[in-house]
């Protein structure tokens, strides 16, 4: 039996741009999508669940995953390590699923090198000020972490044109619809008669 081959989609954008918000809304409409669960050394935020939002690991455990070749990509971001467990992604793609990786810029570059057929989407905030408002408004990070993320955001936004497409997250509903048309491109209808 021949296996269907699914596709791989990478979603990147500065912290606070709304990647998590858009993905959650997309997933609610399309539960058949598989969103990869990353490993991280960052501490859980209130409400975050191990194995659901992230696999929260000690640094030594993360380093072991890297050493064993168990991460498809990984990077350091604002003082913590983040990486994509390889096996679940490989399994879901082999099963024909569309797999989404929500990862930062360095990881997205690694995926481009190792998986050039992946489709890479960049989420932009409407403005830099609005990005900071959203990050502060989320209320999950200290001032110091916010300022580290804002510094990083400048470099990330400067790399937006490395991606196949950019989506401005102005309004959640509109941006989710745009995202959906990219993840699920409308097939050209096959004429039933000529
Ligand atoms: N390279 C890489 N980046 C990741 C991974 N998981 C999450 N990230 C990115 O790490 C950054 C920080 O994530 P997080 O601490 O959850 O903050 P948030 O995205 O602002 O909620 C974000 O840009 C994520 O997209 C991963 O597996 N690999
Ligand atoms: N289009 C939008 N308009 C206003 N606020 C938004 C929008 N999208 C997301 N937000 C808010 O901005 C904050 C950051 O969004 P989040 O999805 O956590 O970003 P990211 O995952 O990219 O770090 C959250 O408080 C979220 O509710």
The CA distance from 76 to 152, in Å, is: 11
Instruction: State the closest ligand 1 atom to the C-alpha of 14, by its place in the atom list counted from 1.
Output: 23
**Worst-scoring range by mean pLDDT, 45-49, 84-88, 95-99, 189-193?**
189-193
85 inside domain: yes
- pLDDT tens per residue, range 61-90: 999 999 999 999 999 998 999 999 999 999
Q: Which domain holds residue 43?
A: 8-183
36 lines ligand 1 (CB under 6 A): no
List the CATH number of the domain containing 162. Answer: 3.40.50.300
DSSP string, 55-96: EE--HHHHHHHHHTT-EEEEEEETTEEEEEEHHHHHHHHHTT
- Provide, rounded to the nearest whole percent, the portion of the chain with pLDDT above 90: 90
Residue 3 lies in a domain: no
Give a yes or no: residue 157 inside a domain: yes
For position 1, what pLDDT does the model report?
Answer: 44
188, part of any domain: no
How large a percentage of the chain has pLDDT more than 70? 94
> How, if at all, do strands 99-102 and 34-35 pair?
parallel
What pLDDT digit, counting tens, does each position of 133-153 carry? Answer: 999 999 999 999 999 999 999
Which of 5-9, 93-97, 172-176 has the lowest average pLDDT? Answer: 5-9
- Cα separation of 24 and 128, whole Å? 23
Max distance between CA atoms of the chain, in angstroms, equals 65
In a domain, 73, yes or no: yes
- Ligand 2 centroid–CA 130 distance in Å is 10
Atom of ligand 1 nearest to the CA of 156: 23
Question: Is this structure's pTM higher than 0.90?
Answer: yes
Q: How does residue 111 score in pLDDT terms, banded at 50, 70 and 90? A: very high
Å from CA of 21 to ligand 2 middle: 6
Atom of ligand 1 nearest to the CA of 106: 1
Q: Comparing 129 with 190, which gets the higher pLDDT?
A: 129
Query: Is residue 114 a part of any domain in this protein?
Result: yes
Give CA–CA dist 180/11, Å, rounded. 12
Domain count, the chain: 1
What's the pLDDT at 5? 76
- Which tops the pLDDT comparison, 102 or 189? 102
Distances (CA, A) of 65 to 5, 75, 138, 146, 158: 26, 13, 31, 28, 31
For the CA atoms of 142, 161, 12, 95, the dihedral, rounded to the nearest 10 degrees, stands at -170
| φ, ψ at 76 (rounded to 5°) | -100, 135
For residues 186 and 62, the model is more confident at 62
Task: Report the distance separating Cα 117 and Cα 95, nearest Å.
Answer: 17
Query: Is residue 105 one of the residues assigned to a domain?
Result: yes
Q: What is the H or E stretch that residue 121 is in? A: strand 119-124
């Amino acid at each position: 039996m021949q296996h269907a081959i699914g596709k791989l989609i990478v979603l990147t954008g500065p912290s606070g741009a709304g990647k998590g918000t858009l993905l959650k809304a997309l997933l609610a409409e399309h539960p058949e999508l598989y969103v990869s669960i990353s490993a991280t050394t960052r501490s859980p935020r209130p409400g975050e669940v191990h194995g659901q939002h992230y696999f929260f690991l000690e640094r030594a455990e993360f380093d072991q995953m890297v050493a064993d070749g168990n991460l498809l990509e990984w990077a350091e971001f604002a003082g913590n390590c983040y990486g994509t467990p390889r096996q679940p992604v490989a399994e879901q793609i082999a099963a024909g699923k569309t797999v989404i990786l929500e990862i930062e810029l360095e990881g997205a570059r690694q995926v481009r090198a190792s998986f050039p057929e992946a489709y890479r989407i960049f989420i932009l905030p409407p403005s830099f000020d609005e990005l900071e408002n959203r990050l502060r408004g989320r209320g999950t990070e200290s001032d110091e972490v916010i300022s580290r993320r804002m510094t990083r955001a400048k470099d990330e936004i400067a790399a937006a044109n490395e991606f196949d497409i950019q989506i401005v997250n102005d309004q959640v509903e509109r941006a989710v619809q745009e995202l959906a048309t990219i993840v699920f491109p409308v097939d050209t209808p096959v004429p039933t008669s000529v």
